[in-house]
Structures are given as C-alpha cells and as structure tokens.
A = this chain, B = another copy of it.
Amino acid sequence: MGISAEQTLGGNAGATGGPEGTGRTGIWLIGARGSVATTAAAGLAAISGGLAPATGCVTVQEPFGSVRLPAFADLVVGGHDISDVSMAKRAELLVEAGMLPLHLMESVRTQLDEADARVRPGYDPAAASGSQADAARRMARDIADFKDANGLERVVVIDVASTEAPVEPLPEFTDAALLLEALEDPARAVLPPSSLGAYAAVLAGSPYVCFTPSAALGVPALGELAAGHGVPTAGQDGKTGQTWLRSVIAPAFAARGLRVLSWAGANLLGGGDGATLSDPEAVAGKLQSKNRGLQELTGGAATPLHIDNVQDLGETKVAWDHINVEGFLGSRLSLQTTWTAFDSMLAAPMVLDLARLMALAQAAGETGHIGALGFFFKDPWGSDEHSFAEQTRVLAEWAQSASSRLPADAGSGARR
C-alpha cells in the first residue's frame, strides 16, 4: 500500500487517539444491509474521513489511549445478507426516518457502495438447498475471499442479523458428533441461521461476535466445536439502551442497601427490528436476554417486560421503566425512566469497538469466550458480571493487559 497509505494511517492513529494498531482488519457483518450494519458502515466511513468524531466509541477515549487497536481507517466492511436492498438504499431510508443526517449519507455514499459490493448472499433458511455444512463452508470461503481480496490481517465476524425465534432443543444440540452428521445431511437443516453463521466464522478462523439474542453459539454442541477452532468469541445481544441503563442503576440500588421489589418495563420500537419483534416467537428470545441480567442484579425482583412494534416510531426506540424499591423501615420509593434514542445509533459504535477489540483479542492470542467484553452485552458469554461499572473496570484492565501481550510488531504486517 506504500507510503501514502502509511500517511493515511498516521492520520488515523490520531483519530483513534491511540498508538499503532494491530493491522488492517475486516468487519464481516452478518445482516450487512440492516439498520445497525449500515449505520456502522456509514459511521466508519465518516470517522475515517474525518467528517465526524467517534462519539459513542469507548475505544477512542481513556484508558484506551495506550491500547494497541486497528485504526478506523484500517477497518474494511463486508458481510452476508439475504436482502436485496443495498446499503446505500438502506441509508437513504435511514435519512428519511430522520436518523442519518442527509449530508453525511451523501458524503459516504461511495464507501457504502464499495462495502455493499462486498456483501455476499447469507444463509436463507427459506431458500436454502444442499447440506448446511456446505452452506457453512461456502460462507467461510466468502470470508476468506474477503480477507485475501482486501489484504486483511484478520476478519472479525459480527452477527447483526434479524433476531430469530428461540430454537426447539434437538438431540444434535448436545452431541457434537450427531450435529456434524446432521450438518452433512442435505435433507436436514438443524441449525438456525445464526448458528450456521457462527460456524462459518470459526471455520474461517475469524473472531466471532454475536450482537443479537439469537441462538448462535448458544447451541452447546456447536459451542464445543467452535472452542476447538481456537478463535476468540464474544456475545451476546448488544446492551445498548434500556438494558444498559438497568445494568447501571440496579447495582447502585444494591450498593445503597435498597431492595428492588419490581422493575417493570415497556419498549416501543419501529423499524426492521420492531417488525421482526412483532413476531411473538422472535420476541421471546429478546425478552429472555433482556431480563436475565436484571434478575441477577436484583436478586429476583418481579420484572414484567414488553416489546411493542410501533411502526410510526420509525428508527426510534422508546423505553419506559418503573422501579419500585423498598427502603428504610419498609418505605417505598419509585424511579421511572424514559429512554428515547435511535437504536442503531447506539449499536453502531459498539460494533466498531467490538471489531477493534476482537482484533486485539486474536492478536493477543486469546481464544474462547472473552468474558471481559461483557460491557457490550445483555447476556455476556463467559461472565456472570452484569454491573456496568464493574464491567467498565474489567474491560479496561483486559484491554491493557491484552495489549501489553502483543508482539512488538503486531499490526505492522498489513501495512508493509
């Protein structure tokens, strides 16, 4: 890439506020044409191009200044999707919804078109033929091709596809041999798409992140297989809004010795995610994943929760919580919170952070669930910690320690 690339890089090191990174890194987004993915891609282009600061990315601020991470300008986007609506078209819809600024979208249209050209067909359960193993191998090849074509040191796969309905348990789910057999059987389709995507990622040797509440590596036999491939993995279900706030507030009540009796919640959302979650089966998985942490943090308070598809809200998510608390001498206090945000605007910077941190994880030789990334997830893999303050501390320590373990020339390869 020569000298001018080096200069670009230098410029971007500034953008990240950090030292030399870990090399050119691919972000392979499963669900690449969705709202979160498109926002992440548009944002990445804007940040790399110096059009916008990386607000909402934790890796650009202290204490990550000395952590070695790939520069934003070293991140390249590709992915799988089953939709024909291009990223640029999707971005236009996000502009119409009042979420993306028009001028910004126009400034990054070229980069969106480039990214969209790197999108390959995902696994569509409704249209699939052949064995699932073949499908996984094909998708792993897509990832490898992406890596080669773009001169990437590594590719981080991040699932931001539509939430799936929870799966019914099968014998294959707890027996790796059975599962492998079933995967080769063209007449069967035992794994949900999210799990197949995760499998493809590990086959490709890629760090894998599950940003959705879908099954993914939660299928035990698949988790076992994945572990064998020695890639770092992280999940699950991005903790962006209401659940994040809960993980901030609930530990604080506990620290005060105040006892949460009930924590009731309502979620209103439109957009693609709203439409998906209007399916009672799809929503079941999401509700579970949202509530698990709260249950732990409150020691079993009543936590009724609803998600409603309210299409006129567009890309906005509104969440109301009512918290009933027992205080001194049996007295009651209540807290209500109302959260209003563009959901994907919260998710996208976390996707970029995760790409950078998973690149670090792999460069530092980590494998399996990285519990220290629980900061980002509603239902963290590899950790039981749900308190956001504690997760913040743990993340910083992990990143610094992982960074210190990097070989001195990490990341330089791609740039020579």
Interface of A with B (CB < 8 Å)? 39, 42-43, 46, 52, 54-58, 60-61, 98-102, 104, 244-245, 248-249, 251-252, 255-259, 261-262, 264, 266, 268, 302, 304, 306, 308-313, 318, 320, 322, 324, 326-331, 333-342, 345-346, 348-349, 387-390, 392
> Could you tell me if A255 and B99 are in contact, using CB atoms closer than 8 angstroms?
no
In the assembled complex, 26 residue pairs joining A and B whose CB atoms fall closer than 8 Å, in A order, are A39-B329, A52-B329, A56-B257, A58-B256, A60-B257, A98-B98, A99-B331, A102-B102, A245-B335, A249-B249, A252-B389, A266-B306, A266-B322, A268-B304, A302-B310, A302-B311, A304-B308, A320-B322, A327-B346, A329-B345, A333-B341, A334-B340, A335-B337, A335-B338, A336-B337, A336-B338
Bound-state CA distance A40–B303 (Å) is 31
Q: How near does chain B come to A393, taking the closest CB pair, in angstroms?
A: 8
Q: Which of B304, B342, B348, B387 contacts A333 (CB 8 A)?
A: B342
> Could you tell me if B334 and A337 are in contact, using CB atoms closer than 8 angstroms?
no
Whose C-beta in chain B lies nearest to the C-beta of A390?
A: B389
Q: How near does chain B come to A107, taking the closest CB pair, in angstroms?
A: 11
A387: chain B residues at CB < 8 Å are 389
Known: A252-B248, A258-B55. A324 touches B312 (CB 8 A): yes
- The DSSP consensus for interface residues of chain A is mixed
Bound-state CA distance A302–B311 (Å) is 9
A52: chain B residues at CB < 8 Å are 329-330
Bound-state CA distance A334–B249 (Å) is 16
Bound-state CA distance A310–B345 (Å) is 23
Whose C-beta in chain B lies nearest to the C-beta of A325?
A: B341
A257: chain B residues at CB < 8 Å are 54-58, 60-61, 349
> Could you tell me if B337 and A56 are in contact, using CB atoms closer than 8 angstroms?
no
Q: How near does chain B come to A339, taking the closest CB pair, in angstroms?
A: 5
A345: chain B residues at CB < 8 Å are 327-329, 331, 333
Known: A320-B322, A345-B333. A327 touches B55 (CB 8 A): yes
Q: How near does chain B come to A249, taking the closest CB pair, in angstroms?
A: 6
> Could you tell me if B337 and A337 are in contact, using CB atoms closer than 8 angstroms?
yes
> Could you tell me if A318 and B328 are in contact, using CB atoms closer than 8 angstroms?
no
A256: chain B residues at CB < 8 Å are 56, 58, 244
A312: chain B residues at CB < 8 Å are 261-262, 302, 324, 326
Bound-state CA distance A104–B320 (Å) is 33
Q: What 9 pairs between A and B have smallest CB-CB spacing? A: A389-B389, A333-B341, A261-B312, A304-B308, A56-B328, A266-B266, A331-B345, A248-B252, A336-B338
Q: A251-B389, A335-B339 are in contact. List 4 more A-B contacts (CB 8 A).
A: A56-B258, A101-B330, A328-B349, A333-B339
